Amino acid sequence: MEYFDFYLMHAQNAKNFQKYKACRAYETAFELKKEGKIRHVGISFHDTAEALDRILTEYPEIEAVQIQFNYVDYEDAVVQSRRVYETAVKHGKPVIVMEPVKGGKLVDLPEEAQKIFDSLHGGSNASYAIRFAAGFENMMMVLSGMSTIEQLRENVSFMADFQPLSDTERAAVEQVQHIFRSQGLIPCTACRYCVDGCPMQIPIPDLFSVANAKKQFPKSDYTGAYAFRTKGKGKASDCIKCGACERICPQKLPVRKLLEEVAESFE
Ligand code: SF4
Ligand code: SF4
């Protein structure tokens, strides 16, 4: 390639930002932009609104901000979708949305939430999630993972002639948000950043996923699912509490404590 359209500084947070600054990554990217090798310099971001404010104040040349934004994380204390988005807008930056469907989690909804969307007699669960994100001002792009041609066709169908959520649809999303807030699910996005560094080979996001499923559908039996997920790997109780996972987790999850709860619940 002769140039990059968008060159994003990966996974910026307060800590990574210091490393990038120390090696003059931003200055280097801006130089490459002047040379025409990069068209636009941006960042992908996982941290608090205050941390983003600091980065955009120090480097006003940043042209776009990619953030995790979906209706479940909108008011989440850790992800802070709304506050982070508002900070990007305050600095006049176009926003690129990642995780609009929360890694696919907003496709398979709890029964109670599913009934609310079913009552609209309209689009799919993914369409409500993506349209929720795309309906905000300054949204430049919504990145949705798609694993089948059907998903791609469906996404194109409602984004080609985009309509923001109607008042009725927005009210339905608010009801679903409330259901998620009252369930106490583990907000793991299954990015799997933590998995390779775990000395005990614990499939952390897979175990959180089983734990969440148990919270969502408590009547089902998850003994087999837990055994399957841990076969030939570490179990939650194998955690030696080294903390490597927590240092890398973009969601800042208290993985060690959560694994204790998983062990108690499943072992
Ligand atoms: S704290 Fe536990 S789960 Fe996390 S990396 Fe260490 S051993 Fe693995
Ligand atoms: S625990 Fe954190 S790092 Fe690991 S998969 Fe979940 S969100 Fe990603």
> For residues 217 and 251, which has the higher predicted lDDT (pLDDT)?
251
Could you tell me the distance, in angstroms and rounded to a whole number, from the CA of residue 246 to the centre of ligand 2? Answer: 8
Q: Does the pLDDT of residue 237 top 80, yes or no?
A: yes
State mean pLDDT over 48-52: 92
Report which protein residue has its CA nearest ligand 1's atom 4. 245
Ligand 2 close to Cβ of residue 67 (< 6 A): no
Ligand 1 close to Cβ of residue 249 (< 6 A): no
Q: Domain 4-181 maps to which CATH number in 3.20.20.100, 3.40.30.160, 3.30.67.10, 3.40.50.300? A: 3.20.20.100
- Which range (56-70, 74-88, 91-105, 147-161) has the least confidence? 74-88
State mean pLDDT over 62-76: 92
Total-model pTM:
0.74
Could you tell me the distance, in angstroms and rounded to a whole number, from the CA of residue 42 to the centre of ligand 1? Answer: 32
Ligand 2 close to Cβ of residue 204 (< 6 A): yes
Q: Percent of the chain scored above 90 by pLDDT?
A: 75
Model pLDDT for residues 20-47, shown as the tens digit of each residue:
999 999 999 999 999 999 999 999 999 8
The predicted pLDDT at position 217 comes to 65
Number of residues in the chain:
267
> For residues 225 and 88, which has the higher predicted lDDT (pLDDT)?
88
Residue to probe by mutation, ligand 2, list 47, 98, 194, most atoms within 8 Å of CB = 194
Of the candidates 220, 225, 221, the one whose C-alpha atom is nearest the C-alpha of residue 203 is 225
Q: Does the pLDDT of residue 54 top 90, yes or no?
A: yes
Ligand 2 close to Cβ of residue 251 (< 6 A): yes
Report the atom number in ligand 2 closest to the C-alpha of 190.
Answer: 5
Ligand 1 close to Cβ of residue 236 (< 6 A): no
Could you tell me the distance, in angstroms and rounded to a whole number, from the CA of residue 188 to the centre of ligand 1? Answer: 15
- Which range (3-7, 13-17, 41-45) has the least confidence? 13-17
Report the atom number in ligand 2 closest to the C-alpha of 248.
Answer: 3
State mean pLDDT over 55-83: 91
Ligand 1 close to Cβ of residue 200 (< 6 A): yes
Could you tell me the distance, in angstroms and rounded to a whole number, from the CA of residue 45 to the centre of ligand 2? Answer: 15
53 burial via Cβ count (<10 Å: 0-12, 13-18, 19+):
middle
The predicted pLDDT at position 110 comes to 84
Model pLDDT for residues 192-226, shown as the tens digit of each residue:
899 999 999 999 999 998 898 788 667 678 899 89
Residue to probe by mutation, ligand 2, list 251, 258, 261, most atoms within 8 Å of CB = 251
What are the structural domain ranges in the chain? 4-181, 204-266
CA distance 167 to 156: 23
